[in-house]
Structures are given as C-alpha cells and as structure tokens.
Amino acid sequence: YAQSSVTIFGIIDTNVRWTDNNGTRLTEMSNSGLATSRLGFRGVEDLGGGLKAGFWLESAVNSDDGTSNATRFWHRRATVSLLGDFGEIRLGRDLVPTFNGWLDFETFGTVGVGSLLNLYTTVGAPVDTLVRADNMVSYFLPSNLGGFYGQLSVAAGEGTVGKKYMGARGGYKTQTFNVGGFYGETESTGDDKFKTGGIAANYDFGLFTLQGIVSENKFRSAKERHYTFSGFAPFGQGTIRASYTKVQGKGTLDGNDADQFAVGYVHNLSKRTALYGTYALIKNDGNADYRVGGRASALGDDSQGLEVGIRHTF
Amino acid sequence: YAQSSVTIFGIIDTNVRWTDNNGTRLTEMSNSGLATSRLGFRGVEDLGGGLKAGFWLESAVNSDDGTSNATRFWHRRATVSLLGDFGEIRLGRDLVPTFNGWLDFETFGTVGVGSLLNLYTTVGAPVDTLVRADNMVSYFLPSNLGGFYGQLSVAAGEGTVGKKYMGARGGYKTQTFNVGGFYGETESTGDDKFKTGGIAANYDFGLFTLQGIVSENKFRSAKERHYTFSGFAPFGQGTIRASYTKVQGKGTLDGNDADQFAVGYVHNLSKRTALYGTYALIKNDGNADYRVGGRASALGDDSQGLEVGIRHTF
Amino acid sequence: YAQSSVTIFGIIDTNVRWTDNNGTRLTEMSNSGLATSRLGFRGVEDLGGGLKAGFWLESAVNSDDGTSNATRFWHRRATVSLLGDFGEIRLGRDLVPTFNGWLDFETFGTVGVGSLLNLYTTVGAPVDTLVRADNMVSYFLPSNLGGFYGQLSVAAGEGTVGKKYMGARGGYKTQTFNVGGFYGETESTGDDKFKTGGIAANYDFGLFTLQGIVSENKFRSAKERHYTFSGFAPFGQGTIRASYTKVQGKGTLDGNDADQFAVGYVHNLSKRTALYGTYALIKNDGNADYRVGGRASALGDDSQGLEVGIRHTF
C-alpha cells in the first residue's frame, strides 16, 4: 500500500451560458465548457521486465450544482491495464476507439456550446456506445512504432441491447501532422447494427493548426454524414479557436441538414487555469433539431449560445 | 498535475441518539452531531501578481450507514474561485450568504439535536435555497478591510421554481466581537418570493462568549421569527455550550410558537478528535411541530433528544 | 488538517467470465473475482497515552462498468474508531462478526465464481445483515491477548425490519492454526429472528493450508447448513486454491441441497498485482437454485462458471 502510487487529478470548469433556441432563451450556470469537470484517481506500478500495471478511476463532476453522473459514479473511466513492449491491454469502462478517432481532431474538445457532439446522434439506434462503453477489452499498439498508432476494442453486450460493440482506430502521427481513420459497429434492436466510421487529419502550420474530419453514422436506412473543418492559433497568452461543421441527413433523414459555426478564445492565466469564451450557432434545415444546449424549441430552427467560464486543472 | 496541489480533508462524526417526541421514542445511530461528516478535496494555485485560483469539492457522508446525499454527491460544495486583492469570485454550489449570516453566530453549528435548523422552515415556500444554492455566483470582500466583511450572491433559477436567489450579508468583526446582518430572496411559486433576513452579534467576554440572532422568514402571509440567544465557555479540556431559541409564527402561522433549549459538552481528546454530548428540548405551542429529530408524532407536542458521539477531523 | 493523515487505498479487479446455468450461457466482463474492487480513505491519529482515533471510508467500485453501489456510496465501510489498550470501539457501517467469522476461513475470499456466498442465503428472512450492518457499535478485543481474539457487535434497527442485529465471534490464533466460532441474530418480520452461527478452523501444514467451516442459517422452520472444506498451496509464483462445500436444506427447505466445487490459480506478477483463473461448479438437488453467477435458469440444475482476470492493489 505505497501511498505514492495514487495520483489525484481533476478539472473544475464552470461557466455562465446564454442560449437562444429560436427565441426560447435560458440563462444558466453550466459546466465543462472548455474541458469536462472531473475528479480522478490513477496509478502505475512497475512490475519489472518492461511490464507495468495501472489503474484509472475518473468521475464526472457537474461543478455548477454538485451532482455527479446519475448512472455511473465512475462515468468517465474505470479501467485496469497491463502495459509492456507489446502495447497495452485495458479492461473496463472507457472511451471507444470510434470516439477517440475524432476527439483528437476536434478543436472544441467535444464539450461546450461549440462541441461537435451537438451534431452527433446514433441515428435512432438505441445504443450506449457513442462515446464510451462498459465491459470493454481494448488493445493499444505500443508508442514506439515510428508514429503509427492504433486501438482495437471489443465490449461485451451481456444480453443488453445497444451494448455489444467492436471498433478500431489507427493512424500515423508526426510532430506536424496526424492522419487517422476509425470504424465501429454496435449491435442494436433486432440484430441491426449501428455503424460509425470516418477519417480525420490535422496539420500544424506553425502560426495555426487546421483540422478536418469526415464521418458517417448509420442505422437501418437512417444516415448522417459530418464534415467538420476547424482550426486554432496561439494569440497572446491564449488560443483562438474556430470550427465549421456540416451535418447531412440521408435515407430516412434526408433533408435534415444543419450547419454549426463556433468561435472562441481561451486565455491562459497559467498552465492549469484558463478563462474562456465561446460562441456557437447552429442553422437547422428540414426537421433537423440540433441545439447548442438550452431548452427545446420548434424543429428546424436556429440555435445559438454563448458561454464564458473558467477552467481550473489540478 | 502537481500532486501537492490537492488537499484531502474530512470529518467523521457518529453518535448514538435517543429521541422522545411526546412518547414516540427512537434509539438510533446517527451522524453529524457536532460537525457534519464529510469528505472533501481542495486546492489553491498561485497565479502570480496576487491572483489565485482555487477549487473545492465537498461531499456529505452519512457515517452511520455509509450513504451519501441522494441527489448531489458534492452536496456540501462544488466551486471554483478566482481570488485577488479585489476579493473572491466563486462559482458553483455553495452555502448562501443568508445561511452564512447566522451560521457564524450559532453555538450548536446548525447540527445535532440542538441545531437552530430544527426551528427553521421555508414557511411553506417550495425553495431549495435555505442553506445552499446551485448555480451560484458569489462575490466576497477581501479580508484586509480592517474588520469589514461581506458576501453578495446570485443563483440562476434555470426555469425551476425555488432556485432563483439573490442575497447578501455583511458585518464587522474584531478579536472580541462580531456584528452582522443578512437578507435574501428566492423566487417561489407564482412569482411570490421567500424572504429571509436578520441581524446577529457575539461578544467574547474571556470566560465565555455570548451570541444572539434575530431573524425572520416570510412567504406570502406566513411568517416566522426567531430569537436565539446562546453561549459557550471553555471548561477543562473542552467546551460547555447552551442555547435558547424562541420561534414565533405570524400571519397564517399565528400561534405556532416553540421554545428550544439545548445544552452540551464537548470534550477534546486532541485538536482533531472530540467526544460530545448534547441534550435538547423543544416545547411546541399551537400547531407547531418542530422536532429535535426522530419520528413524527402528534402536533403541538414536546420533543426531546440526547446524543453522545465522537467527532474525528482529518 | 495534516495531509499525511489520510491514506488512499483500493483494488481494481476486473475479469472475463463465462457462465453456463444448465445451458443458459453468458459471456461477460465482470469484476471482483479475486478481491472486491474498491476505493478507500483511512487514517489513524495518535491521541497520546496509548489512545488512538481512526476513520475508514471504503466504497465499492464495479470496475467493469464504472458504477458504484446504488444504495450506499460507502457501501463497504464507514466507521470511526477509538483504539487503546482496552481494544477498539468502532461505530458505523461495517462487516458483521458473523460474516468475519467465516471470511477468515474462506479460501476464495467470498468473491468470484467460487465464492462461499453463492450458497449463503437468509433462508427467506428479509434481513440486511448477512454481510454488513448499518448503525453498528462494535467492540474488538485488543491484539495482545496471546492469540485470543473477539468481536461483539450491536446494530440499531431504527424501526426498520431486518436491521436490528446482535452478534459475536471469538477464537484463538497462532502462526500455524486458527480456530473460532460465531453466532448472531437479526430481528426480522413478525419479531421472528434470523439466526446464524458456526465454527471454523484452519491449519498451515507448510506445503499447504487446510480450512473448514460448519455453519447454519435459520429462520422460522427454514434452515440451511453449510459444510465447507478448502485449501490452498503455494505453487511457483502463485497459489493453487480448491474448495468443496455442501449445503443442506432442512425444515421447509428439506431436500434443497447443493454441492459446490471450485479450483483456481493465482499468479502474482508482484505483491500488488496478480492474474487469476477460477472454475466453479454447483450441482443443485431438489428445488435448490444456487448459481455461480450469470443468468437464472430452471430450478435444480447445474451451474458452472470460469473467470480469468487481473487484480491490481494500490
């Protein structure tokens, strides 16, 4: 029981948010606009011979009202790992590779009013694997493959619809660019599968970095395709961020399109603490009803939001 | 991720409690008779130039049965702060200033059978801001104002009845005395407001300290007024404590009065650990049904309780 | 608030489990096959004069899906203690002595597919004290009695059926053997009592250790008796384990018997980290429906399971 083996870490990110969904307005205190508020415990043990064991417990914290995830206290991650020259084998609840596959290319980090997740659905499939999965075995390639990386994951369904998952991602990364792809399937109602896949790339031009993702979600005859193009640039003590995403409905969702625009600025007070502001606008077409947050309104309307907050890492 | 930035702290306070509400008796193991059982994580980061950032997560622990707050795991506090010469700006779930305004003058610390909270209600208003509020922005005056202190807080309602709050407290404190006042309003049903306010003072006479609070809660035509007078004195290795409170119903609560008497002794085994015993008696008039704890009984009856426990701080 | 006073500790134990209950099969990721996954905080304060105060908070972690115990976050333990030459007085939620009385003689540690708990019931009594109890006061004998040990515990019912408990255990332990007995009663429906008791012993022969428990649970005219005989032996870098248990139904459960066989191997990668595999088989007779885990099937059938996992202690 070596006390030094446990690291406590976390983030508290709290903001004030104004949303306007075609006139339905809400002023609120919200959380996780720049990074998700969390509290975690982790550690690594050296087993000798290049082998290591590690654990990771990470809880989501709603830092505006003190609640945590209603279903899973360790909502964000609960894993144990064996690591070695062969890579890493990881067991438990964790991010799925199909989410990791675009998270690394998402300028707004999949959180806040400008999150790419605003536009992501499971196209009507009752699945619980869009972001994370329970009961998952993952294999990660080692980090010494000259830039190649990869993850392969399988999650047990245990007899529950929408839980049985298989997915992978892979790519090649240098100091200036990163290209990758990902694909995954989840067993859903009536043995039909929810499928998601895509490709992504970014390039660091020095003054700024540009990122792009093209991806598709599919269930039965419903389909949605995402094209997202974003970038960020250092500016003073901080970072300017901007993104544009188009989502296109296909099949039974034909015509349910939307465009999301997001801009923001992150002002670093230190490495650990930053102030930030983000503005985002979604323009819905057809029966599309994507929102930046806030309250429901009529279908097909515009949704916009502004949030100003503080993120403190510990 | 400097590990040293996180402090773990807490209290386990567990006791055995006997209550008798006009013959309806209960023997139980209870918790938080001297201080509320809790587990917390907090830290402060120096940002330079007199500026600091801090976070505070504090969970309530029912140390008799291992449960935590059913609604909010971080029930007691979930905040992030910016601190500087200007004072402190704090965001999140926290104590409201109208509670802080009398907590500092409450000899029994608002916990246990002798708590002033036994006699506090929201006079029928469905509000969730008597002690703490979610989604709150608070401003605290800096500590270098020659004894003057103050807190101003606003909590967002976010469309839920009984959550939108605005309140303030202020006062003047020296080494021997402290005087203060507080006032706050919460939006309740039908835009009617729950209002609470009061004044308080204490004085350290050396051999003992005397404290007094006069306060009033109001909602529509229901009103309750509290007069509390209490004191404590060092005695041997510990402290003797006593308090008397009169609550008077007004308006629709006219005649629903009660008197609470509480006495107790705290025996310090160390700075961190103490044994304690408290006895409290409430005499209800009219339809008043205040209780020191335990099970419900008929209206207007007496309620008494005794608890003996241990409080361990870490 | 001395930071050094808090120790963070825990276990993550995650496995892959296959069960077959007479043809009803399930492949799943499970947890706690070798030791229960947990996260805890504890500390001891020296009060001087041989007196100590201590606290212990321990949460159950379902490391396969990130959930925690749905009812009690500090499900495993929430206690405060005073320790001295007289022994220990402990208040709060904790293991009952009637469980501790056989836990120390259970080769499979009451967890996983081979757990003795598979065969333990409350014989139809709605009690919540088989393993742990809320609101309990326990007294433990000091550890310097030349090998004698003992625990006496009383839990308050607080008006809830199946909570009021009184139990004790005692025994004598040397470096090579341990003998003990235990008995406890819980008030259940209609003032009828759930009674449990037994005797147990183990002996370390050097090459291997043998253990045996005989125990009985009783409620009204339902009775079940357990005979368990098990052992473990060091083997290479690990330990081989095996156990056999017979449960016999008596009274209204007459003929509802079962036999459980379990074998396993634990391979230590270090003191803190181990890989393990366990196979268990239950043969049910009459209407007995004991299972090693997995899904329900018809009464009286066989149940078998295999699990392979990793246990990491921190």
What's the CA gap between C154 and C91, in Å, rounded? Answer: 10
Q: What is the mean pLDDT of residues A70-85?
A: 97
What three-state secondary structure class fits C159? coil
What's the CA gap between B49 and A75, in Å, rounded? Answer: 37
B131 class by beta-carbon count within 10 Å (0-12 exposed, 13-18 middle, 19+ buried)? middle
Q: Centre a 10 Å sphere on the Cβ of residue A286 and count the other Cβ atoms it contains.
A: 14
Closest to B225 (Cα-Cα) out of B194, B243, B248: B248
What was the pLDDT predicted at C191? 83
What was the pLDDT predicted at B4? 54
What's the CA gap between B232 and B210, in Å, rounded? Answer: 7
What's the CA gap between A115 and A101, in Å, rounded? Answer: 15
Closest to A52 (Cα-Cα) out of A133, A138, A142: A142
**A81 has pLDDT over 90:** yes
Closest to C256 (Cα-Cα) out of C281, C230, C225: C225
Q: Centre a 10 Å sphere on the Cβ of residue B182 and count the other Cβ atoms it contains.
A: 25
Chain A nearest-CA residue for B1: A314
Structure tokens at A160: 């529950």
What's the CA gap between C152 and B79, in Å, rounded? Answer: 43
What was the pLDDT predicted at C2? 39
Percent of chain B, pLDDT > 90?
94
What was the pLDDT predicted at C4? 54
Q: Centre a 10 Å sphere on the Cβ of residue B176 and count the other Cβ atoms it contains.
A: 11
Interface test with A, best of C4, C11, C19, C312 (most A CBs within 10 A): C312
Give the mean pLDDT of chain A. 95
- Give contacts of A131 with chain C, Cβ < 8 Å: none
What was the pLDDT predicted at C132? 98
Partner residue opposite A135 with nearest CB, options C7, C61, C65: C65
> A170-213, pLDDT tens digit by residue?
999 999 999 999 999 999 998 899 999 999 999 999 999 999 99
What's the CA gap between A293 and A284, in Å, rounded? Answer: 14
- Residue A249, chain C, CB below 8 Å: the answer is no
- Residue B270, chain C, CB below 8 Å: the answer is yes
Structure tokens at B309: 């426990």
What was the pLDDT predicted at A3? 47
Superfamily of domain A13-313: Porin (2.40.160.10)
Low-confidence ranges of chain C (pLDDT < 50): 1-3
> A40-72, pLDDT tens digit by residue?
999 999 999 999 999 999 999 999 999 999 999
What's the CA gap between C267 and C272, in Å, rounded? Answer: 11
Superfamily of domain B14-313: Porin (2.40.160.10)
- Residue B16, chain C, CB below 8 Å: the answer is yes
Give the mean pLDDT of chain B. 95
Q: What is the mean pLDDT of residues A217-225?
A: 97
Nearest Cα of chain C lies from the Cα of B88 at a distance, in angstroms, of: 23
**A8 has pLDDT over 90:** yes
> A281-310, pLDDT tens digit by residue?
999 999 899 999 998 876 668 999 999 999
> B164-192, pLDDT tens digit by residue?
999 999 999 999 999 999 999 999 998 89
- Give contacts of C57 with chain B, Cβ < 8 Å: 10, 12, 39, 61
**B1 has pLDDT over 50:** no
CATH 2.40.160.10, applies to C3-313: yes
Q: Which residues touch B104 (CB under 8 Å, ≥6 apart)? A: B178, B180, B200, B202
Sequence length of chain C is 314
Judge contact between C312 and C36, C-beta under 8 A.
Answer: no
Percent of chain B, pLDDT > 70?
98
What was the pLDDT predicted at B300? 67
What's the CA gap between B291 and B17, in Å, rounded? Answer: 14
Q: Which of residues 66-95 of C touch A (CB under 8 A)?
A: 66-68, 73
What was the pLDDT predicted at B107? 97
Q: What is the mean pLDDT of residues B288-300?
A: 85
**A1 has pLDDT over 60:** no
What was the pLDDT predicted at A44? 96
Partner residue opposite A73 with nearest CB, options C29, C68, C310: C68
Q: What is the mean pLDDT of residues A92-114?
A: 96
What's the CA gap between A123 and A114, in Å, rounded? Answer: 20
